[in-house]
């Protein structure tokens, strides 16, 4: 994931357009050709001008979108069976970046619309997912399988309600969610 971070930073400096998570994942994977092992990945990018959230995901980590402290969407895990996620790797049997699921959430002016359908592109795994828009005030929680397997969205909603309107920052909110997952 160090390669993904550097790739995203390079893309940000090179263009004013939003970073494309699929390109980040592909370039990071290519840069890791000699790395042993495997990894899950979840990369999100927010285009502030358009309000569009773009994400790619491989494995059992993922993200949840909350509106007004209520769970609106949870990305599905990509796994062969429970606790056996798809992973990116350089050996036979591991996935390549084409196995990612890509999500695009577009903001619209006016009422929020949730469209049921497929992601922008579903390559390799054939899972259909809903598309929705991201709007100002939404909270997006990224997590590993530890968080997503052990925490129902309703428990995270409880934390969000407790933090709503407080002067505490996002890091404190993230710590509260993390601690709840650790001891759940």
pLDDT tens across the length of the chain (184 residues): 566 667 666 766 656 566 778 788 888 888 877 777 888 888 888 777 777 777 788 888 888 888 889 888 888 888 888 888 888 876 766 666 665 555 554 433 334 444 333 333 333 333 333 345 677 788 999 999 989 988 899 999 999 999 987 877 889 999 999 999 888 7
Dist CA 59 CA 86 (whole Å): 5
- The pTM assigned to this predicted structure is 0.74
Dist CA 177 CA 99 (whole Å): 29
Report all structural domains of the chain as residue ranges with CATH numbers, in order of start: 2-182 (3.60.40.10)
95 secondary structure, DSSP code: B
């Amino acid at each position: 994931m160090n390669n993904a971070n550097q790739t995203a930073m390079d893309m940000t400096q090179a263009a004013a357009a939003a970073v494309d998570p699929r390109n980040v994942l592909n370039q990071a994977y290519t840069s890791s050709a000699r790395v042993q092992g495997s990894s899950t990945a979840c990369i999100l990018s927010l285009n502030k001008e358009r309000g569009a959230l773009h994400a790619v995901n491989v494995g059992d980590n993922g993200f949840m979108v909350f509106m007004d402290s209520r769970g609106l969407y949870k990305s599905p895990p990509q796994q062969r069976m429970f606790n056996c996620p798809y992973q990116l790797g350089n050996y036979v049997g591991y996935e390549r970046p084409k196995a990612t699921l890509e999500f695009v959430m577009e903001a619209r002016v006016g009422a929020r619309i949730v469209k049921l359908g497929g992601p922008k592109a579903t390559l390799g795994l054939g899972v259909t997912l809903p598309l929705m828009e991201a709007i100002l005030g939404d909270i997006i929680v990224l997590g590993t399988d530890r968080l997503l397997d052990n925490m129902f969205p309703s428990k995270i909603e409880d934390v969000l309600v407790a933090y709503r309107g407080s002067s505490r920052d996002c890091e404190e909110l993230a710590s509260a969610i993390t601690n709840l997952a650790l001891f759940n």
